[in-house]
């Protein structure tokens, strides 16, 4: 019953066709439309010919676009750095210091907050950090502060804090998986050869777990750079990020070509950063020989 390659190919294509057609119609086609819109001329709610690169030229010439892209990039990279640095010791603890039969339970405990309503978690931070919120009331009743701290109005730092909380569990799992793959006999060998535990960690464990660290960075970076709710709720909405700006351009100003061009540039930026992460990963895999 060995199938010939051609009939296998036909069977495979037939089987995948419902899913493939769905994503082509609802994902590929819309993305292509955005790409085409971005080189068209247009005003409020309509697009027309001729094709032009003016939309991209305007993105380049007006500093506000660059500012929002750069701000989103820096916020997302900071959040990524914080979450990965905080997650590493946790993943290390679960991988190296928890009994094998208890590991699933620990991972489950860490992932639960991620699966509980994102909207509620972010809104709770708003209740806690907002003006006259729980934090302000507690600080004032304890006599630590005389007036409201109103941390939520601090804009970017508050956004970074809330995002770092929201995406924290994302980072633990990939690092944990790569730590699990580290051959324990290598560590013993290192210590037998007279390296201290710390040096063994730096020279063996850390480089070997780098693919997991980079995967974690990527998993945190992509949703944070495009986050919509947190910048809208925290920081009084005064620090819009990419997603908020796309909303303004496409839905409020209804400037489809300009909004599309901005969306395309944002996608490019996310893509370039992701490729850099992946290349870094290659280097580590190559470097470990």
Partner 1 sequence: MKAPWLRGFTFLYLLFLYSPILLLPIFAFNASKVVSFPLSGFTTDWFVEMWNDQNLRIAAKNSLIIALSVATLSTILGIFAARASVRYRFPGKAPIMGLIMLPLVLPEMIVAMSLLVVLLSIGVNLSLLTVIMGQVLICTPFAVAILTSAFQSLDRSLEEAAMDLGETQWSTFRLIILPLVMPGILASFLICFTISFDEFIIANFLGSGQPILSVYIFGQFRFPAKVPSMLALGTVLVCFSIILLGFAEYMRRRGIAKAGGKDTGGFL
CA–CA separation, 74 vs 97, rounded Å? Answer: 34
CA–CA separation, 132 vs 151, rounded Å? Answer: 10
| Residue 220 lies near partner 1 (rule: CB under 8 A) | no
CA–CA separation, 22 vs 154, rounded Å? Answer: 43
| Interface pick for partner 1 out of 78, 123, 191, 248 (rule CB under 8 A) | 123
CB 289 to partner 1: min, Å: 26
| Residue 12 lies near partner 1 (rule: CB under 8 A) | yes
Q: How many CB atoms lie within 10 A of CB 209?
A: 26
Closer of 204 and 246 to partner 1 (Cβ): 246
**Interaction residues for partner 1, span 25-44 (CB under 8 A):** 26-31, 33-34, 37
- Residue 77 contacts residue 97 (beta carbons within 8 Å): no
Q: Site for partner 1 (CB under 8 A): how many residues?
A: 92
| Interface pick for partner 1 out of 41, 52, 78, 111 (rule CB under 8 A) | 111
Beta-strand runs (E) in the chain:
41-42, 47-48
**Interaction residues for partner 1, span 159-218 (CB under 8 A):** 165, 168-169, 173-174, 176-177, 218
CB 62 to partner 1: min, Å: 20
| Residue 24 lies near partner 1 (rule: CB under 8 A) | yes
| Interface pick for partner 1 out of 48, 49, 64, 141 (rule CB under 8 A) | 141
Crossing angle of helices 54-61 and 256-287, rounded to 10°: 70
Largest CA distance in the chain: 81
């Amino acid at each position: 019953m060995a199938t010939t390659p051609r009939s296998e190919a036909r069977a495979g294509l037939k089987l995948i066709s419902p899913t493939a057609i769905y994503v082509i119609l609802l994902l590929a086609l819309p993305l292509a439309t955005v790409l085409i819109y971005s080189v068209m001329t247009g005003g409020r709610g309509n697009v027309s010919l001729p094709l032009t690169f003016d939309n991209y030229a305007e993105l380049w010439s007006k500093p506000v676009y660059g500012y929002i892209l750069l701000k989103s990039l820096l916020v997302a990279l900071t959040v990524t750095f914080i979450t990965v640095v905080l997650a590493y010791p946790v993943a290390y603890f679960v991988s190296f210091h928890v009994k094998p039969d208890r590991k699933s339970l620990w991972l489950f405990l860490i992932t639960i907050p991620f699966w509980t309503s994102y909207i509620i978690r972010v809104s709770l931070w708003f209740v806690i950090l907002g003006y006259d919120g729980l934090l302000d009331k507690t600080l004032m009743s304890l006599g630590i502060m005389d007036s409201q701290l109103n941390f939520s109005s601090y804009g970017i730092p508050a956004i970074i804090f809330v995002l770092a909380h929201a995406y924290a569990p994302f980072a633990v799992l990939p690092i944990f998986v790569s730590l699990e793959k580290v051959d324990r006999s290598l560590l013993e060998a290192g210590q037998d050869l007279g390296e201290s535990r710390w040096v063994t960690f730096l020279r063996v464990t850390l480089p070997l777990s780098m693919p997991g660290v980079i995967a974690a960075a990527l998993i945190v970076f992509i949703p944070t750079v495009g986050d919509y709710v947190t910048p809208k709720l925290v920081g009084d909405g005064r620090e819009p990020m990419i997603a908020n700006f796309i909303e303004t351009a496409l839905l409020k100003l209804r400037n489809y070509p300009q909004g599309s061009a901005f969306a395309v540039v944002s996608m490019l930026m996310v893509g370039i950063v992701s490729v850099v992460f992946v290349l870094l990963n290659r280097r580590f895999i190559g470097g470990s020989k």
